[in-house]
């Protein structure tokens, strides 16, 4: 089997420590081997036909190698490809994207192409500094490194429409009643009804007041995302001038180049970066896509401090097993391969610190016990509607969410804690209580990894999307 006059299949090849390893699902209109070779060729040194300019050295040293194929059907299956480090302009991540995540998605032979995971060699990782603060730096700033309780926060709702004074009032009520964090929503930046600078100044004023009254450090994740680098820099400088230590970036829509540049500045200014992933699902849902775990590794290497990774129990897609894996990538330094999740083993360089996972989307105090079964205590629990929708309003909603976090810290079930805390009790009466045993049962399915693998090997990515990832 050859593509363009050359063979990219090398089943005797063992990837070196300096290779990038890519795991993908491939399906198309010819045999899987040919499809795999087409992808390997297009993403490395080859093209559709034999060329006179190819030489033995180039082909031997720079080509991608298909070193493993797991067939589900004659024309579909899992493909493992190794790329040599020398193939890439290693200080230029856009070139890596153009190679491995670029033209291959437009090849007409393919009906499905989904990049499940990428293993980045440690030598490549050394050029990235990782987060300035990360999980433990954020905990130290907020003052929870000893208690170890989950952080709690809210998104001011409605998403857009409130004037700066109204926004600041909601933020103050949230902070004064126990929340650690208040953030802008992803689509609020500098609209006419709530200009960025006025909103930031008013919210900073009430945050300063809340810190003095509670004796706790607070975070305001003010959204500085913009299509103009200059405007983002201006906002960043205003944040620094006022003595604040946190901003929010919509990292997916910013793109790699702008993100890398802004992270260099935030590290220089010693500012915590809260990373919102709005838009990533366009790269993930469908027959052609890239799994979020690839982006997550990139964002951690680049150095965001907090990152939305999903909940496993809320309104956004992603089941308990998959979100638990995302949490591992955020918090751990290494992890084993899990084929049923489409995950390769991973190992971060020691200097790339863990990041604070953020669980957000459809949460309320009644889901906290179940959420902790997936994430553990090292998580920021964000509830928008689950705070402001409390029967008694934002202040009581904030109290209820903080009470749920305190229950976790004390090792008391939230449902039991609610019997002596009326604010929490009312929240559970409105939204109900998700029994953690349901999530525990889903996570225990992982013990039957061989069965999960069998299902995936029999049905392919359809089983991942419809069975395993939704568990």
10 Å CB burial of residue 352 (0-12, 13-18, 19+) is buried
What is the Cα–Cα distance from 196 to 100, expressed in whole angstroms?
A: 38
What is the Cα–Cα distance from 292 to 257, expressed in whole angstroms?
A: 18
**Hunting for tokens 């070139």 — which residue is that?**
95
- Beta bridge partners, 220, equal 182
For 117, the token pair is 């995971």
On the CB side of 33, CA atoms within 13 Å amount to 8
- Asked if 64 and 82 count as a contact pair (C-beta separation under 8 A), the reply is yes
- Asked if 357 and 378 count as a contact pair (C-beta separation under 8 A), the reply is yes
Residues contacting residue 444 through CB under 8 Å, at least 6 positions apart: none
Residues that are catalytic: 157, 276
Query: Looking at 156-229, which runs of residues are DSSP E strands?
Result: 181-183, 219-223
Closest C-alpha among 199, 220, 197 to residue 210: 220
Helix (H) or strand (E) run with residue 335 in it = strand 334-335
10 Å CB burial of residue 452 (0-12, 13-18, 19+) is buried
10 Å CB burial of residue 55 (0-12, 13-18, 19+) is exposed
- Asked if 136 and 130 count as a contact pair (C-beta separation under 8 A), the reply is no
Any idea what the Cα angle at residue 277 is, between residues 271 and 280, rounded to 5°?
150
Helix (H, G, I), strand (E, B) or coil at 80: strand
């Amino acid at each position: 089997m050859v593509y363009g006059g050359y063979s990219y299949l090398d089943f005797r090849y063992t990837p070196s420590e300096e290779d990038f390893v890519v795991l993908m699902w491939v399906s198309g209109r010819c045999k899987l081997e040919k499809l795999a070779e087409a992808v390997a060729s297009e993403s490395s040194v080859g093209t559709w036909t034999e060329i006179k300019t190819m030489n033995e050295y180039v082909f031997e040293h720079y080509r991608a190698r298909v070193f493993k194929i797991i067939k589900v059907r004659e024309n579909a299956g899992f493909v493992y490809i190794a790329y040599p480090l020398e193939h890439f302009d290693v200080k230029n991540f856009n070139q890596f994207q153009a190679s491995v995540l670029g033209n291959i998605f437009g090849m007409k032979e393919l009906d499905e192409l989904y990049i499940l995971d990428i293993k980045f060699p440690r030598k490549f990782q050394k050029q990235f500094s990782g987060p300035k603060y990360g999980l433990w730096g954020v905990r130290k700033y907020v003052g929870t490194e000893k208690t170890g309780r989950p952080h709690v926060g809210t998104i001011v709702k409605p998403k857009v429409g409130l004037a700066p004074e109204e926004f600041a009032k909601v933020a103050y009520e949230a902070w004064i009643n126990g929340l650690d964090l208040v953030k802008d929503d992803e689509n609020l930046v500098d609209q006419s009804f709530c200009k960025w600078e006025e909103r930031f100044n008013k919210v900073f004023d009430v945050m300063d007041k809340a810190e003095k009254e509670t004796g706790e450090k607070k975070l305001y994740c003010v959204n500085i995302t913009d299509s103009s680098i200059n405007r983002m820099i201006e906002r960043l400088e205003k944040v620094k001038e006022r003595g604040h230590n946190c901003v929010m970036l919509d990292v997916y829509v910013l793109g790699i180049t702008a993100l890398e540049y802004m992270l260099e500045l935030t590290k220089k200014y010693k500012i915590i970066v809260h990373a919102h992933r709005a838009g990533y699902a366009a790269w993930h849902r469908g027959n052609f896509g890239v799994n979020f775990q690839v982006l997550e590794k990139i964002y951690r290497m680049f150095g965001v401090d907090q990152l939305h990774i999903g909940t496993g129990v809320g309104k956004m897609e992603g089941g308990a097993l998959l979100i638990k894996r995302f949490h591992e990538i955020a918090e751990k330094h290494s992890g084993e391969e899990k084929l049923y999740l489409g995950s390769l083993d991973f190992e971060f360089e020691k200097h790339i610190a863990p990041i604070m996972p953020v669980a957000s989307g459809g949460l309320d105090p009644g889901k906290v016990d179940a959420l902790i079964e997936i994430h553990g205590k090292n998580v920021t629990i964000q509830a928008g509607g689950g705070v402001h929708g409390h029967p008694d309003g934002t202040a009581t909603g904030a109290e209820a969410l903080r009470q749920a976090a305190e229950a976790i810290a004390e090792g008391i079930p939230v449902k039991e804690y609610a019997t002596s805390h009326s604010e929490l009790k009312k929240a559970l009466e409105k939204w109900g209580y998700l029994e953690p045993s349901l999530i525990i049962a889903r996570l225990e399915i992982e013990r039957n990894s061989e069965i999960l693998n069998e299902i995936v090997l029999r049905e392919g990515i359809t089983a991942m999307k419809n069975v395993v990832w939704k568990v």
